[in-house]
Chains A and B, each alone.
Chain A
Amino acid sequence: MREKREKREKRDKPWIMRTYAGHSTAAASNALYRTNLNKGQTGLSVAFDLPTQTGYDPDHALALGEVGKVGVPVSHIGDMRALFNGLPLDQMNTSMTINATAPWLLALYIAVAEENGVDRKLLQGTTQNDLVKEYLSRGTYIFPPGASLKLTADMIAYTVNEVPKWNPTNICSYHLQEAGATPVQELAYSLSTAIAVLDAVKNGGQVPAAEIPKVVGRISFFVNAGIRFIEEMCKMRAFTELWDRITKERYGVEEASFRRFRYGVQVNSLGLTEPQPENNILRIVMEMLGVALSKDARARAIQLPAWNEALGLPRPWDQQWSLRAQQILAFESDLLEYEDIFDGSHVITAKVAEMVAAAWKEVEDIDARGGVIEAVESGYLKQRLVESNAARLRAIESGEQVVVGVNKFVETAECPLTKDLDDAIMTVDPAVEKQATEAIKKWRAERDQKAADAALAKLKAAVKSGQNVMPASIEAARAGVTTGEWAAALRDVVGEYRAPTGVAGARLDQLQPNAKSKVEALRARVAQLTVELGRRPKILVGKPGLDGHSNGAEQIALKARDVGFEVVYEGIRVTPEQIVASAIEEGVHIIGISILSGSHLALVPQILERLKQKGVHVPIVVGGIIPEADARLLEAKGIARVYTPKDFLLDNIMGDLVELVAKAATTHAAE
């Protein structure tokens, strides 16, 4: 009895528990945060909508269908006030998943805190602010790599003394795994990113050399943890070891506390399935073990996805279920009573050593290529990720990698959780967008226009002359400038960027023998169709809107090439107008649209309308996160087929595409 109590007293403090949340409006999200905190969540994690992340106001044409959808819109200081209304900012630990517009959102946060009499020195939290992984995976970048790196360096230089408890950047490997990265790629690419950021600060001249160790100490990471949880746990230990080496050897940091690998986690979502979605909660729990078990490499903060991840947005109850999993592990189990339970395990030690060696080799290779920025611009890194993801999908398709409920053990009783599928997710009221559009117009009309103009002019001048962007941004925040205006000012000065798609040069491994015959049959069919058509079937794969989920489009494009299609794929964030123009100019036989952000009902009809207007008749298919009812709606409007994650057999999809082209050709010939 006594012993037991003693153990309890020695328990470690649990990690910070968060839920990635935000939707509709600042006020609605504020209410959600309060409920979440009442449920025992200990930190906030703000999800912004895509217009806010890509620097557009709700009334911008590109924001159509996206306002308040996958996160909260924050367009000006008024929204930021509403978002944190009544929450004590000096006691909060706020994580913001914000990147290209990170300086702006931090500026708004500081401005609101100071209005409430909170000293900026007390603010705690994180702005994600890792643009490299945006180019490689996440897709909400705006500016060219050089300019982006300068903005990150500005934020680091500014916060190190002005907001000393803030993590100005959170280097992410999470999104790399979500784009298909292997554990070694995750290690190497994210550490190389950290090196690029620290080099930029070191060589930027804004921070004196003596303060570099302090800067190093403020760098934190955001990591992924997949279902191979032993290997993932080893990955965390490898991170710890490599970061210690880099900080010591490359940046000469002596203080052990500044060299510690501090990281937060969101566990893997890419592997969460649409079929038998209830199984996902079990995957989530196991993945959490990977980042919790080893005390020496334990996460500082954890957020978990929900069981219905592949269906659509989670409802509060879905998120609560995941939060409870964390709480049970932290408070019911005995996990926090022990020192590191793997110390001395030669199995773990050997695995970690192997990963450290492999990752280090990659880090050196990237260095030899001129660093991570160069390797982003040349398309090398993206290409490697696309290849890894293709290998992963092939292994699932061939059954080599087991996914329970998907390619094995598919027999199932009816799941009570998904009896009414379309109610098993959260939907955002479409009226939100209209209200936001009107509200932003009102905001602009009511503010002191002269003050806003002056602040914007000052901001531009600061960026042009290479000054730190933060002071001018904070002033602009106070002057009522909007998110779209802030970003437009920077777009004007530093320009915009389109990242390499990685698909053109991607090479695929040899197929497994059992998969080969299917692909060969498809190739033969395409060859035959080529003779019939007179030229090779040509497909346009298009990603309209602000949605950055490129995995599906990339893999469809690659596979189509593989079976013999000519493929045009222009990357993310193209407009419906561009898609139609490309389809016409390229003379494609079929169009494939990929949308995962939920804006399909706004965007697909636009494309259809325009094609009709231009007199183009080709079959169109749509893929992504499309709820069943919406799929029927789209089909009624003329979409030939709708695909969702459950359609994981790419060979079957290709077979459909070929037949759709063949059918369209014969109907045309008959006309």
Chain B
Amino acid sequence: MPPNERATRLAARVASAEKVAVAAALNLIEDRRAQSRSEIEALLTALGKERAPSFGHRIGLTGPPGVGKSTLTAALAREYRARGLHVGVLAVDPSSLRSGGALLGDRARMSFDPEDDGLFVRSLATAGDTGGLAYAANAGVEVLATAYDRVLVETTGVGQTETDVEHVVDTVCLVIQPGSGDVLQFIKAGIMEIPDVIVVNKGDHGKLAQRAAADLRGALDRLRNAGLGDAGHGTPLPVLVTSARDLVGIDALVDIFEAQRARVSEAELLERRHCGRVAWAVALFARRYGEHGLNTMGGRVALLDEVDRALVSGETPVGVVAGLGERCLARLRSPI
């Protein structure tokens, strides 16, 4: 079967949320062999035709280690399922060793009914992309977003070690726990990108959580008054207390996500997704080839522009980064 036809068929099976097909598609997009590239691009192009470009909602949960992101992701997935929505989860694990090996621990926190065809969880190791979202994450989200109504992406990180998650999702939810004052510091110092929602998890720790939420709201108000860090749309940034353990505040959080999704216009959403892809591709390129690589390709601004045009013309981010990489290496290798 020619690769394009194979990709079209696989994409159709992904769209009907056939688990084995979704898994096969994810296996393929993780495949870094040169010979697989055209097939990956064909798949991504085919996936793009299966759904309206504004389909679904992609939500990123990010935050420091151990605050309960996985537990919360599991709770959110259950809540969405209870509302009849299908959910795909991508748990991105940054903890790989120098050997490249990784223990993908998030899944252990999310036990689900194995018979449920409306729920899919995949772990993804960053495999050497230090500090960043895995190479395959962008494409992984595309696969899951074709199969499921809601896609949840879990990543670890906060502040300067930002994870690029904002480039692959529509909504960023920062998860913290009571007593983690550093987040407040990051926000005050303006180091951190302001997320769309902030959740103070482990609310079962009592007053501590409520106080942390109040502190955050105060700090954010001051920022707003100073004309900084607006959550957009003129509404204050939602700050919510949850207990993923005791399932408190989960439905309210889903309500907020759903409301945010309903509020953005189709044009806004498409613009955000497009900009996200451009930014993700450039960030990944920069991480691989460094400042020197960026300069070799004409500098960051020029590159953003180039990627933007390439994507508009129908290329996929994965293809663009791979192509740029080859050209960059060729230039670096060629004698001056």
A binds B: yes
Q: How far is the CA of A580 from the CA of B19 in the complex (A)?
A: 12
Supposing A578-B114, A587-B122 touch, asked if A564 and B108 sit within 8 A by C-beta, the answer is no
Is A203 an interface residue when CB atoms closer than 8 A count as contact?
no
Q: Pick from B31, B104, B114: contact of A568, CB below 8 A.
A: B104
Is B290 an interface residue when CB atoms closer than 8 A count as contact?
no
Q: How far is the CA of A527 from the CA of B33 in the complex (A)?
A: 13
Q: How far is the CB of B157 from chain A (nearest CB, A)?
A: 16
CB-CB < 8 A to B27: which residues of A? Answer: 535, 587
Q: Which of A557-585 contact B (CB under 8 A)?
A: 557-558, 560-571, 574-575, 577-578, 580-582, 584-585
Which of A211-219, A334-342, A496-504 participates in binding chain B? Answer: A496-504
A560 nearest in chain B by CB position: B101
CB-CB < 8 A to A530: which residues of B? Answer: 100
Is A416 an interface residue when CB atoms closer than 8 A count as contact?
no
Which of under 10, 10 to 19, 20 to 34, or 35 or more describes the interface residues of B?
Answer: 35 or more
Q: How far is the CB of A390 from chain B (nearest CB, A)?
A: 12
CB-CB < 8 A to B121: which residues of A? Answer: 582, 585
Q: Are B105 and A561 in contact (CB under 8 A)?
A: no
Is A401 an interface residue when CB atoms closer than 8 A count as contact?
no
Q: Are B111 and A562 in contact (CB under 8 A)?
A: no
Q: How far is the CA of A527 from the CA of B111 in the complex (A)?
A: 31
Q: Pick from A535, A567, A615: contact of B104, CB below 8 A.
A: A567
Q: How far is the CA of A379 from the CA of B186 in the complex (A)?
A: 27
CB-CB < 8 A to A566: which residues of B? Answer: 96, 101-102, 104, 123, 125, 127
Q: Pick from A379, A504, A616: contact of B103, CB below 8 A.
A: A504
Supposing A568-B123, A584-B19 touch, asked if A563 and B102 sit within 8 A by C-beta, the answer is no
Q: Are B26 and A526 in contact (CB under 8 A)?
A: no
Q: Pick from B31, B97, B245: contact of A534, CB below 8 A.
A: B31
Q: Are A561 and B108 in contact (CB under 8 A)?
A: no
Q: How far is the CA of A596 from the CA of B36 in the complex (A)?
A: 41
Which of under 10, 10 to 19, 20 to 34, or 35 or more describes the interface residues of A?
Answer: 35 or more
B36 nearest in chain A by CB position: A534
Supposing A534-B33, A585-B121, A587-B27 touch, asked if A567 and B19 sit within 8 A by C-beta, the answer is no
Q: Are A535 and B31 in contact (CB under 8 A)?
A: yes
Supposing A566-B104, A587-B23 touch, asked if A581 and B114 sit within 8 A by C-beta, the answer is yes
A503 nearest in chain B by CB position: B103
Q: Pick from B24, B99, B104, B108: contact of A563, CB below 8 A.
A: B99
CB-CB < 8 A to A527: which residues of B? Answer: 100
Q: Are B103 and A569 in contact (CB under 8 A)?
A: yes
Q: Which of B147-198 contact A (CB under 8 A)?
A: none
Supposing A584-B20, A586-B107 touch, asked if A577 and B102 sit within 8 A by C-beta, the answer is no
A587 nearest in chain B by CB position: B27
Among A557, A584, A587, A616, the most chain B Cβ lie within 10 Å of the Cβ of A587
The 5 closest A-B pairs by CB, nearest first: A504-B105, A534-B31, A581-B114, A561-B101, A534-B33
B127 nearest in chain A by CB position: A536
Q: Are B101 and A567 in contact (CB under 8 A)?
A: yes
Supposing A534-B31, A585-B19 touch, asked if A577 and B115 sit within 8 A by C-beta, the answer is yes
Can you list 24 pairs linking A and B with CB atoms under 8 Å apart? A378-B66, A498-B108, A498-B111, A500-B108, A501-B105, A501-B108, A504-B95, A504-B105, A504-B108, A523-B100, A530-B100, A531-B33, A533-B31, A534-B33, A561-B103, A564-B101, A565-B101, A567-B102, A568-B107, A568-B123, A581-B19, A582-B107, A585-B122, A587-B26
Q: How far is the CB of A385 from chain B (nearest CB, A)?
A: 16
Q: Pick from A535, A563, A577: contact of B101, CB below 8 A.
A: A563
Is B51 an interface residue when CB atoms closer than 8 A count as contact?
no
Known: A498-B111, A561-B103, A616-B20. 15 other contacts (CB 8 A): A144-B245, A498-B108, A504-B108, A534-B32, A566-B127, A567-B101, A567-B103, A568-B107, A570-B108, A577-B115, A582-B107, A584-B20, A585-B19, A586-B122, A587-B24
Is A434 an interface residue when CB atoms closer than 8 A count as contact?
no
Q: Pick from A535, A563, A564, A584: contact of B30, CB below 8 A.
A: A535
CB-CB < 8 A to A580: which residues of B? Answer: 114
Measured CB to CB, the residues of A under 8 A from B are 144, 378-379, 498, 500-501, 503-506, 523, 526-527, 530-531, 533-536, 557-558, 560-571, 574-575, 577-578, 580-582, 584-587, 614-616
Q: How far is the CB of A530 from chain B (nearest CB, A)?
A: 7
Q: How far is the CB of A662 from chain B (nearest CB, A)?
A: 15
CB-CB < 8 A to B66: which residues of A? Answer: 378-379
Q: How far is the CA of A501 from the CA of B107 in the complex (A)?
A: 11
Q: Are A562 and B120 in contact (CB under 8 A)?
A: no
CB-CB < 8 A to A505: which residues of B? Answer: 95, 105
Q: How far is the CA of A378 from the CA of B97 in the complex (A)?
A: 21
Q: Are A536 and B125 in contact (CB under 8 A)?
A: yes
Q: How far is the CB of B13 from chain A (nearest CB, A)?
A: 13
Is B263 an interface residue when CB atoms closer than 8 A count as contact?
no
A582 nearest in chain B by CB position: B107
Q: Are B100 and A536 in contact (CB under 8 A)?
A: yes
Q: How far is the CA of A587 from the CA of B22 in the complex (A)?
A: 10
CB-CB < 8 A to B115: which residues of A? Answer: 577
Q: How far is the CA of A563 from the CA of B31 in the complex (A)?
A: 20
Q: How far is the CA of A379 from the CA of B68 in the complex (A)?
A: 12
Q: How far is the CA of A566 from the CA of B102 in the complex (A)?
A: 5
CB-CB < 8 A to A587: which residues of B? Answer: 23-24, 26-27, 30, 122
CB-CB < 8 A to A534: which residues of B? Answer: 30-33, 36
CB-CB < 8 A to B108: which residues of A? Answer: 498, 500-501, 504, 569-571
CB-CB < 8 A to B30: which residues of A? Answer: 534-535, 587
Is B327 an interface residue when CB atoms closer than 8 A count as contact?
no
Q: How far is the CB of B245 from chain A (nearest CB, A)?
A: 8
A500 nearest in chain B by CB position: B108
CB-CB < 8 A to B123: which residues of A? Answer: 566, 568, 586
CB-CB < 8 A to B99: which residues of A? Answer: 523, 526, 561-564
CB-CB < 8 A to B111: which residues of A? Answer: 498, 570, 574, 578
Is B109 an interface residue when CB atoms closer than 8 A count as contact?
yes
Q: Are A503 and B122 in contact (CB under 8 A)?
A: no
Q: How far is the CA of A372 from the CA of B278 in the complex (A)?
A: 48
Q: How far is the CA of A535 from the CA of B139 in the complex (A)?
A: 15
Q: How far is the CA of A326 from the CA of B95 in the complex (A)?
A: 49
Q: How far is the CA of A241 from the CA of B224 in the complex (A)?
A: 60
Q: Are A535 and B32 in contact (CB under 8 A)?
A: yes
Q: How far is the CA of A571 from the CA of B101 in the complex (A)?
A: 19
Q: How far is the CA of A378 from the CA of B177 in the complex (A)?
A: 13
Q: Are B33 and A562 in contact (CB under 8 A)?
A: no
Q: Are B100 and A564 in contact (CB under 8 A)?
A: yes
Q: How far is the CA of A574 from the CA of B97 in the complex (A)?
A: 27
